[in-house]
């Protein structure tokens, strides 16, 4: 389930080396060029869900640490996906970035001032603590395409616990696919700021891991309000999350595997008591 490429053997002669170098440049050209000292992280297909109906004014943006489907109408991500590995959890890059606009957005987007004095947190979908493995990844996690207006107590309570659970499982099982995003239930959404950033009604997070050659998954949905329930009470099957969000997760898996993975979940496997 890893994205990182295996090292090539040394070329037997100079001409072959040049050919391989050119080919490698073509293959990797669609990915963002890392800053000095950075290593490119390739995208993970399993982190990209499919829409039942694709929202208008949406675009896919790939950063070094995550992929986002951004919605210029709601000024929120539709979803944010990435793979978190056990090695990445051990990263040491500090949280020193500021929230900024995403330079890759085509069209309208939120600005940091929209959140000022709004009473709503800038809730990360791909948390900064999952991006400590790279300075570039850390900085890009603070793009406003990766955040939504989130209840302060949710962001600093249940949502934070879900993020900690994710890192714990990545360390334990080697890697975890993570997809998160906001949920909008109606048409009369409240908003904040001059750019009218829509306030979500709830948030989802789904996790998938391949442990001992067996895929396992779990989903969570949290209302965008202050709640103090156990994480287990937010848990549900992937099928249930799909029904609520209109997203189709893990379509790259064989149909029989996808069906088995998405219809149920094991709370103990995910550390839920």
- The angle subtended at Cα 246 by Cα 245 and Cα 248, nearest 5°, is 105
Residues written for the chain: 273
How confident is the model at residue 2, as a pLDDT? 39
How confident is the model at residue 52, as a pLDDT? 86
Q: Do the domain assignments include residue 28?
A: no
Q: Do the domain assignments include residue 2?
A: no
> 124 catalytic, yes or no?
yes
How confident is the model at residue 127, as a pLDDT? 98
Q: Do the domain assignments include residue 202?
A: yes
Which CATH number goes with the domain that contains 171? 3.40.570.10
CA distance 163 to 67: 17
Q: Do the domain assignments include residue 30?
A: no
CA distance 76 to 181: 9
Range of the domain at 235: 41-262
- Give 163's Cβ-side CA count (13 Å radius): 19
Q: Do the domain assignments include residue 208?
A: yes
Catalytic residue from among 63, 75, 122, 124: 124
Q: Do the domain assignments include residue 33?
A: no
Q: Do the domain assignments include residue 249?
A: yes
Mean pLDDT by 10 residues, the chain (273 residues): 35 35 32 44 81 89 96 97 97 92 95 97 97 96 98 97 98 98 88 97 97 96 94 98 97 96 97 92
- The angle subtended at Cα 9 by Cα 3 and Cα 14, nearest 5°, is 125
Residues 148 and 123 sit within 8 Å (Cβ to Cβ): yes
Radius of gyration of the chain from Cα atoms? 19
- Give 175's Cβ-side CA count (13 Å radius): 18
Residues 208 and 261 sit within 8 Å (Cβ to Cβ): yes
How confident is the model at residue 194, as a pLDDT? 96
CA distance 64 to 131: 10
Q: Do the domain assignments include residue 95?
A: yes
Burial of 49 (0-12, 13-18, 19+ CB in 10 A): buried
> Domain tally for the chain?
1
Instruction: Enter the pTM of the model.
Output: 0.85
How confident is the model at residue 43, as a pLDDT? 58
What's the N-to-C CA distance of the chain in angstroms?
27
């Amino acid at each position: 389930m890893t994205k990182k490429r295996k090292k090539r053997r040394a070329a037997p002669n100079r001409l072959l080396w040049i050919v391989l170098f050119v080919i490698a440049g073509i293959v990797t050209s669609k990915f963002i060029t890392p800053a000095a000292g950075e290593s490119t992280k390739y995208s993970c297909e399993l982190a990209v869900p499919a829409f039942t109906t694709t929202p208008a004014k949406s675009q896919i943006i790939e950063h070094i640490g995550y992929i986002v489907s951004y919605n210029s109408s709601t000024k929120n991500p539709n979803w944010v996906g990435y793979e978190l590995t056990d090695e990445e959890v051990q990263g040491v890059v500090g949280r020193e970035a500021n929230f900024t606009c995403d330079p890759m957005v085509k069209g309208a987007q939120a600005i940091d001032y929209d959140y000022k004095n709004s009473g709503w947190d800038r809730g990360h979908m791909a948390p900064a603590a999952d991006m400590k493995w790279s300075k570039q990844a850390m900085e890009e996690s603070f793009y406003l395409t990766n955040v939504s207006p989130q209840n302060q107590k949710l962001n600093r309570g249940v949502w934070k616990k879900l993020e900690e659970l994710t890192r714990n499982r990545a360390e334990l099982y080697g890697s975890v696919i993570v997809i998160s995003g906001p949920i909008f239930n109606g048409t009369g959404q409240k908003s904040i700021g001059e750019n009218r950033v829509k306030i979500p009604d709830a948030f989802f997070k789904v996790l998938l891991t391949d442990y001992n050659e067996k895929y396992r998954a779990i989903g969570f949905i949290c209302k965008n309000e202050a709640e103090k329930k156990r994480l287990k009470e937010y848990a549900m099957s992937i099928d249930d999350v799909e029904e609520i969000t209109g997203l189709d997760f893990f379509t790259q898996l064989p149909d029989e595997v996808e069906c088995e993975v998405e219809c149920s979940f094991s709370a103990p496997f995910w550390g839920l008591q």
